[in-house]
Each structure stands twice: as structure tokens, then as C-alpha cells.
Amino acid sequence: MATPQSETHHARIMDDILRRIVDGTWKPGHQLPKEVELAETYGVSRMTMNKVLTQLAQDGYVTRRKRIGTVVAEPRAQSAVLAINNIRDEVETLGRVYRWHLLSNEQRPRNAQDQRLLGLEGDEGARDALFLQGLHMSNDEPFCLEHRVINLAVAHDAREVDFRKEVPGHWLLQTMPWTNARHQLRAINISGRDATLLRLPSGAACLEILRKTQIESNWVTYARLLYPGEAHQLIAEFEGHPGS
Amino acid sequence: MATPQSETHHARIMDDILRRIVDGTWKPGHQLPKEVELAETYGVSRMTMNKVLTQLAQDGYVTRRKRIGTVVAEPRAQSAVLAINNIRDEVETLGRVYRWHLLSNEQRPRNAQDQRLLGLEGDEGARDALFLQGLHMSNDEPFCLEHRVINLAVAHDAREVDFRKEVPGHWLLQTMPWTNARHQLRAINISGRDATLLRLPSGAACLEILRKTQIESNWVTYARLLYPGEAHQLIAEFEGHPGS
DNA sequence: CAGTGGTCTAGACCACAGC
DNA sequence: CTGTGGTCTAGACCACTGT
């Protein structure tokens, strides 16, 4: 009697409850029957029912409180999962040839420009930091301009890497997996050296992404990615989902 | 013996395994001991161990395959959760006064411009659709220009709503909770009527968000949100996380 | 076909939060 | 105090997949 149907009990019950929530039969604030009752209704053990309800709570569809019971959650603040693709993949998915072109590579203390461009906080990059600048090319056309600082105190091996051949973002992801990142997005009018490098007229709209990457409580790297706006229409695509 | 410590077995074991993955003791590809062995090691039942491993798999840290066992996952394609705030909250968080200003409200078939601006697909908006245009104001300054089309076949009640008073996005979220959305982001140079309405010079960089909202397989609404880029520096902020 | 995870159960005790 | 969810167990059978 473990798996009587091809579909698991989990899935069957999950779908049933989710349907009622999504189609409005159970509106936000609606109180669900208690765990034991639901278990009886669906003819499963309390443990199985608990697994379903716990999952629903994790997915943000219901909130559960002792003594109170399980109620349909208020609709979440709208959120979305943004897939930030590897730039190489992004280019190659478009059927183009990817190439990385390192522009500069310096081990030095930060300066005022770094701090402004990359939004460095505190004494981050004050010492033992590697400053890189490079272009991601698509069919030998500029696709994305990257400024980056790497914390050598955390990513020790970065000293010995030849970033003319290794793409910094890719190398870091390989070397230091399981990092966390904070991102900021905005649209800016490009100008000066950035415009020249991206071969864009001064004033062209670009999407700027600032990314701060951490592992545990140590900062690993800051990156500033500049994408031409109009040229590459679809910059990011993501789907709504309930909070995890 | 249910909860011997103040911390649950789940949490304790979860933390222990996660630590080894994050600090690199167990690198991507590393094979974990099998479920039964881990259960013995930690002195818990197999069910409890399974709950932990299942959670780790859901969080994307490990992959589990029958016969193969549990291995540390390859680092995820970088993804992030973007919180798309209610525009009113966004403005009021900045300590400013929010106001909604409806510019136009028409029940009519779509035209070529709608289709282009909002990226309508198929015959969406071909009939029974409500077309809105309005400005979100912050201290009586334009903050975001919104174009929207609502599917009256799904959101019937929208006919009777006075969208001079109700903000469409807010009303829809209240009325039709548990929708899904697909988003597209890009930077554009603003011009023409859009520039005039946002009181920006032609050519200013703006962040354009196209949002398609669905419930089940029915489209509910398309929205195009245009934010001045330079003026409102921080448009979006989100944190990295493993895939759910 | 054998080893691994996937699922399920019946019963139990605990912890929290209203009453 | 009592009712609710939170957690846990020992044992069981099933399903997938590499050999």
C-alpha cells in the first residue's frame, strides 16, 4: 500500500489543495481543516499529510501556526527568479562565437573610481585585491563590458591564474562554488571610455548590473556588467514563483 | 527522545552537511554516504535522514539518483530572487508621497502599438480587453509610466472598477492572487510621448519591465513599466540562492 | 537482479500558544 | 490546561537503474 497509484499520494494531495487555492475556492485567510482531519479525508497517515502541508508552507501558499492551524497565505509580495546565465552560454545560445578579451589586470589597492563603479563598502579592496577589466565578445562585437575586483585574501589562487585565457566569472564559479550574491540593476546612459569600448554612441542606454558575491560572511568579488540595452533586446527573463 | 536538544535533528544535521559543502570539504561531485549509513552516523532514523537529504536536494545542493546515491551538485547556474515590490510601497519606502494618475482607460480591441509595446502574443487582447495607461507619482514627480492590458474574460470585475482610484496592479493582485508572471528587462533610450510624460529629455536611459501575468494557462494582464534609470538609482535588488 | 533512494504507516512525545 | 502543529521512529514495500 506504499504507492497504490502511479502518482504518489504527495503529488495527488498537493495538486488537489493547490488547485483550490489557485482557483479561488480557498481564498487567502481561509482556514484549512486540521492535519489529522485532512489525513483522514485523503486516507493517508498524518506523516504524509504533514509532508504535504509542510511543503505548501515552504512554498508560501499557506502559513501554519500551532494552536491556530493552517490558513491560506496572503498573496506574496510579487517576486521572481532571475536566471543569470553564464555570459558565454548567453552568447552561444544566440548561435554566436564567444570570446573573452582581457583589457587590464592589476594587483593594487583600490582607488576612488573602483569604489564608485563597483560600490565597494568599508575597506573592501583596500589591499590584496585584483582588479580586472575585460570585454565579452559575441562574433567579435562587444557584448558585455566587465569590471571586477577579486578578494585575494579569499580567492588565493587567483594570483596564479592567467585571466587572458580564463574568464574571471567562470573561474570563480568553478573555484568557489556555493557563494551568495547581491545584485543591483539599473539603466544608465553610457559615455566616455565605456562607450568607446562597447563601440556605442555616447548616451546609449545600457543595463548595468552590480553584483557582490560572498561566501559565508567574506566578500569574494564585485562585478560590474554593462550590457548594451537596445542592441540585445532580451537581457533577462524570469518567472514568478512563490517565496521559498 | 523526539527533540533531545533545543535544536532539531533536522537543523543540526542539515547545518553539518551544508557546512562541508559550502566550505569545500565536500566538493561538487563528491559522493555522500548512503542514506542508511548517514542515519546511523548521526544516530537518527532513516526517515529523518531522508527528510534532510530531500531538503538538500530541493535546495539544489545535492542531486540524488536511485542506484547512484547522493552527490554534491555542480554549482547552480547563477540565479537570484528578485523582489518586485508594489510600486506604492517602493515610493513610500523612500519617504515620499505616492499618487496614481490614470491617463487613459479604454475597452477596445488591441492595435499594432499595443502589440508592439506589450509584446502581446497570438490573439491576446484581440477582444474583451481593457487598455490602461497611467503614471505612478512620487511627490508629484513621475516615478513610473505604466501601460497595461487586462483580459476581461478572466478578470470580469475589472469592467466595474474605477481605475482612477484603484491602482490596476494592486487591484489585480488583490482580486486574482496566486498568479504567475514572466518578466523581461531591458534598458532603452526613451523618446516621444513617453519622454514627455516622464518629464525626461529624449534619449534618457530607462529601465523597461515587461510583465505577463497568467493564472493557470490563461493570461490575465500584460504590463509595461518604464522607470527613469539615472533618476532612481536602485531599481531592483535581489539575493542569490540555490534553485528551488 | 541487486542496491539505492522514494514513499508510506501507526504510534508517540514534545513545544507552543490561546483559553 | 488543551489543542494544534513539529518532530521522530522502526519497519515496510515499491520503483528505478546500472551491471
Strand C bases within 7 angstroms of protein beta carbons: 2-18
**Which residues pair with residue B31 across a beta bridge?**
B71
- Residue B74 identity: E
pLDDT digits (tens, 9 = 90+) for A100-143: 999 999 998 888 888 888 888 888 877 889 999 999 999 999 99
Q: Which residues of B touch A28 (CB under 8 A)?
A: 177
Confidence (pTM): 0.86
Model confidence at B24, pLDDT cuts 50, 70, 90, reads confident
Measured CA B71 to C1' D14 distance, in angstroms? 23
- For C6, which residue's CA is nearest its C1'? B66
Q: Under an 8 A CB cutoff, do B182 and A230 touch?
A: no
Q: Which residues of B touch A239 (CB under 8 A)?
A: 180-183
Measured CA A53 to C1' C16 distance, in angstroms? 18
Q: Name the nt closest to A8 by C-alpha to C1'.
A: C7
- For C17, which residue's CA is nearest its C1'? A67
pLDDT digits (tens, 9 = 90+) for B120-176: 888 888 788 999 999 999 999 999 999 999 999 999 999 999 999 999 999 998 888
Please give the C-alpha separations between residue A158 and each of A130, A144, B179, B231, in angstroms, as whole numbers.
8, 22, 45, 37
Measured CA B32 to C1' C6 distance, in angstroms? 18
* Contact predicate A113/A133, CB 8 Å: no
DSSP string, chain B: --S-SSS-HHHHHHHHHHHHHHTTSS-TTPBPPPHHHHHHHHT--HHHHHHHHHHHHHTTSEEEETTTEEEEPPPPPPEEEEE---HHHHHHHTT--EEEEEEEEEE----HHHHHHHT--TTTTSSSEEEEEEEEEETTEEEEEEEEEEETTT-GGGGG--TTTS-HHHHHHHHS-S-EEEEEEEEEE--HHHHHHHT--TT-EEEEEEEEEEETTEEEEEEEEEEETTTS---EEEEE----
- A79, A180, A221, A238: which to substitute to probe chain B, counting the most B Cβ within 10 Å? A238
> Chain B: residue nearest A169 by CA?
B78
Confidence check: pLDDT of B94 > 90: no
- Mean pLDDT is highest, among A72-81, A133-142, B53-62, for A133-142
Give the pLDDT of residue A232: 62
